[in-house]
Structure 1
Amino acid sequence: MSDTPAAPAPLGPTPGYLVWRLANKWRTAVDQALAPLNLTHAQYVLLASLSGMERSGRQPSQRELADHTGLEALYVSKLARSLEAAGLVGRARDTEDTRVVRLALTEEGRATVRPAIDTVQVLLDQLLIPLGGLDDRRTEDFKRTLALLLDTPLGPARESR
Structure 2
Amino acid sequence: MSNAPAGPTPGFLVWRLSMKWRVAIDRGLAPLGLTHAQYSLLASLSGMQHAGLRPSQRALADHTGLEALYVSKLARGLEAAGLVERAADPSDTRAVRLSLTGEGLAVTGRAVEVVQRLVDGLLAPLGGLDGPDTEAFTRTLTALLDVPVPVVTGPSTEESS
TM-score range, shorter chain: over 0.9
In the TM superposition, 1:19-38 aligns within 5 A as 19-38=14-33
Q: TM-score, normalised by structure 1?
A: 0.92
Tell me which amino acid in the other structure corresponds to 1:25. K
CA distance in 1, matches of 2:34, 2:20: 17
**Stretch moving more, 143-152 or 16-25:** 143-152
In the TM superposition, 1:4-153 aligns within 5 A as 7-153=2-148
Deviation at 1:141, TM superposition (A): 1.1
Q: Encode CA deviations 1:5-42: one digit per residue, 9 max, x unaligned.
A: x5332101000000000000000000000011010110
Deviation at 1:159, TM superposition (A): 8.5
Q: TM-score, normalised by structure 2?
A: 0.92
Query: Per the alignment, in what secondary structure is the counterpart of residue 98 of structure 2?
Result: strand
RMSD: 1.5
Question: What percentage of residue pairs aligned between the two structures are identical?
Answer: 65
CA distance in 1, matches of 2:157, 2:113: 47
**Stretch moving more, 24-33 or 7-16:** 7-16
CA distance in 2, matches of 1:102, 1:152: 29
Unaligned runs of 5+ in 1: 1-5
Unaligned runs of 5+ in 2: none
Tell me which amino acid in the other structure corresponds to 2:149. L
Count of aligned pairs between the two proteins:
155
CA distance in 1, matches of 2:52, 2:27: 31
CA distance in 2, matches of 1:44, 1:66: 13
Q: Which runs of 4+ in 1 moved over 4 A?
A: 157-160
